[in-house]
Structure 1
Amino acid sequence: MGLEKEKADTCVFMDEDVFHSTIEPILKKSKENARALPLPDRDPRDTNSHLKVDFQDVIGEPGSVHSFDSVWIGSHALFELVKLVFYRVLTTLLAVPMALVAGLVFGALSCVHIWIMMPLVHSCMMTLPSLRLIWSSLMETLVRPLFRSMGVCLSSISIKSCESNAP
């Protein structure tokens, strides 16, 4: 768990011939430059896959309407810059306190689970066979004879329904 240094360069190349085309060639160039220096994967289990939001996920222009290419490129660059800066400011302010709180919560939960819940569950699982034996003995000794004798007594009762036509 050492210190990790990260460099992220954001560059926007605007040539004169780019203004009449789409933004895709610019993004492809920057993605090729980004592939040269792979960043460490800080989410290897893809825990926060729902937070991978790109500019195209938020803002999209249909084929029938387009703004000026310079506006599109500028808004894309501004979006990425603000998202990056705001995230870094918030993580600078909140990461250490939230890590402290999360560490306390998960430490307490682990302690309760390991030292209270699991011994309780194992104790119950160990005593259940004995309790089952005691419970079945009580049922055989007390309840079964009572209900058997009640069944014998009540089995001799017969009920017949008669219909009367009396006015």
Structure 2
Amino acid sequence: MSRDGEIDLVVRDPNNLNDHIKVAFEDVLAEPDGAHSIDCIWSNSYKCFNCCKDLCYRIMTTLCGLCIAMYWGCEFAMITFDQVWCITPTLRVFSIQLGCCQKFFTACVNCFLAPICETCALCFSRIVVNQTEMAEQLDMANRDPNGLNNGAKAEFEDLLGEPDSAHSIDCVWKNSYNCFTCGKNCCYKFMTTLCGIFIALYWGCEFAMITFNQVWCVTPHLKILFICCGWYRRCFSAIVSCCLAPLCESCGLLFSQITINKK
């Protein structure tokens, strides 16, 4: 696609999708030095090959190109709709549920491993790490700032590409681009108009219930677990610190001059 938003009629395969199907006369027919046909036969064979290949390809694209482009536009519109409105929110629900399991597992692991790791960390106690984070502003024009559905992006040149040796008629190629773009946009907007509000309402209620469960049920239970594990951790930490802390602090002097700044 050119910078002004129009389809490029010269370079029709900018992403090299179909480089492997470039076919020229010399890629198919070749006469070795000891077997040459009559010059006019060879010359006319070259013309017939190119003429038939170009003519047959243009007839097929003229008859079917627009319909196929419109079909693929609708197909990728439905795929994009499914990715944006169904799959991505489902994955988010799944990650939230796994987060609960992670917190329980973290509490148990911290009870037994954290004292050992904290004591061993004294070896690196002199290292300073500075990390600067930039605040992100909400962009109303960019509706996927976190790149959740980058895999669902589908442009005309990402799907269809004509190599240099096989070009359809210019008007067919241009109208195929228009049909694909129009079909994809219209189909996606039609589906979101019919279902988008209801799906957004569903996901809003779904995440409201998940948030309610997290705030009023899961978090208090986790707090009880942390309190119960805290006493065991303090006892275990005292024992580990008594035995390992002096050794780790002495080893930490080896790294006392290291400073790391991360921006």
TM-score, structure 2 as length reference: 0.37
User: Going by fraction, where is helix more abundant, 1 or 2?
Assistant: 2
After the TM superposition, which residues 12-51 of structure 1 pair with which residues of structure 2 at under 5 Å, given as runs?
40-51=10-21
User: Structure 1 residue 64: deviation in Å?
Assistant: 1.5
User: Structure 1 residue 77: deviation in Å?
Assistant: 0.2
CA distance in 2, matches of 1:111, 1:3: 24
CA distance in 1, matches of 2:19, 2:7: 24
User: Structure 1 residue 44: deviation in Å?
Assistant: 1.1
User: Structure 1 residue 131: deviation in Å?
Assistant: 2.2
CA distance in 1, matches of 2:82, 2:10: 34
Any runs of at least 4 consecutive aligned residues in structure 1 with deviations exceeding 4 A, and if so which? 1-4, 134-138
Q: What is the percent sequence identity of the aligned residues?
A: 29
1:109 aligns with 2:79: yes
Matched to 2:21, the amino acid is L
1:87-123 Cα deviation digits (max 9, x unpaired): 1000001101101110111111111011111111122
Which residue of structure 2 lines up, in the alignment, with residue 53 of structure 1?
A: 23
After the TM superposition, which residues 118-157 of structure 1 pair with which residues of structure 2 at under 5 Å, given as runs?
118-134=88-104
45, 68, 78: which one aligns with 2:38: 68
Matched to 2:52, the amino acid is V
The root-mean-square deviation of aligned C-alpha atoms, in Å, is 2.7
* 3-state SS of paired residue (1:75): helix
Which residue of structure 2 lines up, in the alignment, with residue 29 of structure 1?
A: none
1:42-96 Cα deviation digits (max 9, x unpaired): 1111111011100011111112211011000000000000001001000001101
* 3-state SS of paired residue (2:11): coil
Matched to 1:103, the amino acid is G
Matched to 2:34, the amino acid is S
Which residue of structure 1 lines up, in the alignment, with residue 228 of structure 2?
A: none
CA distance in 2, matches of 1:115, 1:2: 29
* 3-state SS of paired residue (1:79): helix
Structure with more contact order per residue of length (Cα contacts < 8 Å, sep ≥ 6): 2
Matched to 1:119, the amino acid is P
CA distance in 1, matches of 2:51, 2:95: 57
1:116-135 Cα deviation digits (max 9, x unpaired): 11111122122212123346
* 3-state SS of paired residue (1:46): coil
CA distance in 2, matches of 1:2, 1:137: 57
* 3-state SS of paired residue (1:97): helix
- Pick closer, same or farther for the CA change 1:3–1:132 going to 2, 3 Å: closer
Give the number of aligned pairs: 107
